[in-house]
A and B are shown apart, each in its own frame.
Chain A
């Protein structure tokens, strides 16, 4: 409770100071967030959704709320995380750094949320907080309390954006902040109006290798007939804590592809929810977690088939080495009346060491009778039959193991269309295998 009280006090300071100029509706939203967090508190492993993941390390560490960075990182320092020269927003500790960013306006808006609250407050108000419900999610409630900056993407109806837009979230560590451990609450809102099309790449990374906490929330709206390709890469320091919620709301005949890769942080939790709110929607969740050492990553996904004639495909692969732990919980909800739903889910976990551990929990809740829903999951070491097959072709055991492990990750990466990102991730996978 001490930790919760500390955060509530931090909120009071925040509300009375940096956030005091906010419009009434936003103050109300924030107040609602902190009130809910105050009553929920940090989740415990007694709660079903947190059974395998203890957040005690977060609750027991003192984090200070980040402020806009006084020192701007050099372009060289962020280059390894960038995808070429395309449009981008760069954030440090959750705040937009305009000098490193290339905002867009005119049909496609790409800017900080704080700026959007000034420029287009009605548009933000229309969507902010409408999808990422926080009644049962303490971290989303906490993020909502501290809503201030993050990415705002708005694509006008029928507008098609060819180039991927990158949202790069960098965190600094105690070596740069006189020993202070920071928490950032980036809040992202991505809105594609009807028949719009865009590709967004969210990247979370750390400058250095120290401790920090990211508590992110991203809301994505795909209007009728829109197509959104959302990539998310979490490659923070292996001492970082990363908690995130992504909520996707899809209109009629919309298509959303989500690609989520998690290879960083000591403790990572990602709640990813897609709601197919209009008939004819199509959703792909394609995810990879690549863990080693003492890393712990927990993915809770939910696909809500709220309307008929929607299709969803979910593929999550985990590669676990060392003493790492991976959790996958995949919920599929088919609402009453959501007939002709077609939903497939697979979760495969590769254990590279005897001390690695994976939990895979499919969870189907089907309330309609004319539907196709399948799921499958595996947890285990490399298949000895496949190993022999490769060896029988002249490939030595060490190389055969590496090849199969690579393939396990590549299966997910190969579904990605943004080539520079796929290549970047391919490099990360290969570097991990070479260790």
Chain B
């Protein structure tokens, strides 16, 4: 699904990622943990194609394609999705109008007929039902005046509707209380599928109490310094990150 090799990334002349290797197979859930400033968010942003980041070395292959050669919208149309840490407000555009535009952009790319508002509503209702949510966010302008929890929920809602093959979740748990966290985690669990992979970036282990990853990675100082099974998350919760950073420096 995704093969990242020796990825070096800089922003404004400062190198943030210094040789990241990551291999995600179809249906797997990977968690990327690490201290603040380790480059976790940068990794998701660069994979989604944010123009502020410059790839200085390395490759990223997605489903056999050179991911880094694609524009952000092309990556999305090929099935890549980023749930933003800080979702952005789009004034004057309702969530449902925005989502229909996004769904139709993907459908057009696949050579499918575009959905009119009524068809889209039917699709939307089905997706909402699947994750057990109502449509209260749909007729409000995108993220405008949304609470922190609503913004994160809205990201997962988009994920459900757009049906990506690779979903990157950037600190989806930050700013959520425990109930909101469970709601979001339950929805993600319902969206897990054999042909859909997740890369979940988080600072804390608590999201992983509800979403069990297949692989846990620790990103520190721009490199993946340790990988392991779900237990690694618990170990990090108990011991913090410093022992790994020191080790990285010795090696």
Contact = CB atoms under 8 A, between A and B. Distances in A.
A395 B51 contact: no
A411 B141 contact: yes
B82 interface: yes
Interface in B67-100: 71-73, 75-77, 81-82, 84, 87-93, 98
Given A393-B102, A395-B102, A410-B93, A386 B88 contact: yes
Interface in B137-160: 141, 158
Nearest to A405: B92
B162 interface: yes
A420 interface: no
Contacts of A403: 90, 93, 98, 101
Contacts of B39: none
A404 B105 contact: no
B73 A410 contact: no
Contact of B90 (A389, A394, A396): A389
B92 A393 contact: no
B101 A399 contact: yes
B192 interface: no
Given A388-B50, A388-B72, A411 B101 contact: no
A395 B73 contact: yes
A229 interface: no
B49 interface: yes
B109 interface: yes
Nearest to B168: A392
A348 B77 CA distance: 32
B90 A407 contact: yes
B76 A391 contact: yes
B109 A404 contact: no
Nearest to B101: A395
Q: Pick the most buried of B82, B93, B102: most chain A CB atoms within 10 A of its CB.
A: B93
A365 B61 CA distance: 60
A408 interface: yes
Interface residues of A, number: 27
A397 B73 contact: yes
A394 B106 contact: yes
Contacts of B101: 393, 395, 399, 403
B105 A399 contact: yes
Interface string A372-395: 000000000001111011111111
B48 interface: yes
Contacts of A399: 101, 105
A410 to B, nearest CB: 4
Interface residues of B, number: 29
A409 to B, nearest CB: 7
Contacts of A410: 92-93
A412 B91 CA distance: 10
B89 A408 contact: no
A406 B109 CA distance: 23
Please indicate which of the listed interface residues B75, B101, B158 has the most CB atoms of chain A within 10 Å of its own CB. B101
A414 interface: yes
Contact of B93 (A388, A406, A412): A406
Interface in A5-22: none
B92 A409 contact: yes
B141 A389 contact: no
A393 B51 contact: no
Contacts of A414: 92
Contacts of A397: 71, 73
Given A403-B93, A406-B93, A414-B92, A394 B109 contact: yes
A393 B87 CA distance: 12
Given A399-B105, A411-B141, A392 B92 contact: no
Nearest to B105: A394
Nearest to A402: B101
A392 B49 contact: yes
Given A399-B101, A404-B91, A412-B92, 7 more contacts: A383-B88, A393-B101, A393-B102, A397-B71, A400-B73, A408-B92, A414-B92
12 contacts: A392-B73, A392-B82, A393-B158, A393-B162, A394-B73, A394-B102, A394-B109, A395-B102, A397-B71, A400-B73, A407-B93, A407-B141
Interface of A: 348, 383-386, 388-397, 399-400, 403-404, 406-412, 414
